[in-house]
Amino acid sequence: MLVRLASIISVVSLMACVAPAEQARQQTAVASAHEARSIQFAAQNKCMIQGYQEGTDAFAQCVRTTMEQQSRPHRCTYCRSLD
């Protein structure tokens, strides 16, 4: 009985050490997924404002293009003229 209790206690204490690292990994994954959804939502809105109909091939192409443009590093026109 005591051996079983000791093994349970050691497992619980080990889980307490691992849990914070796992929580941090999960929070990072959730934040990354939320950011990706936000970018896609913004791209969809931009394409709808431009007049594309949701559900069409042209709309899907517009969303893909907009998301690609947003993922590229951007430098202002003035900064590029100084190069």
Q: What is the pLDDT of residue 48?
A: 95
Q: 70 is in which domain, residue-wise?
A: 2-82
pLDDT band at residue 33 under the 50/70/90 scheme: confident
Q: Which is more confident, 4 or 66?
A: 66
Q: Which is more confident, 25 or 57?
A: 57
Contacts of 36 (CB under 8 A, 6+ apart): none
Count how many residues are written for the chain: 83
How many structural domains compose the chain? Answer: 1
Q: Which is more confident, 79 or 45?
A: 45
Q: Which amino acid is at 53?
A: Q
Residue 56: pLDDT over 90: yes
Q: For residues 67 and 40, is the Cβ–Cβ distance under 8 A?
A: yes
Q: Which is more confident, 82 or 57?
A: 57
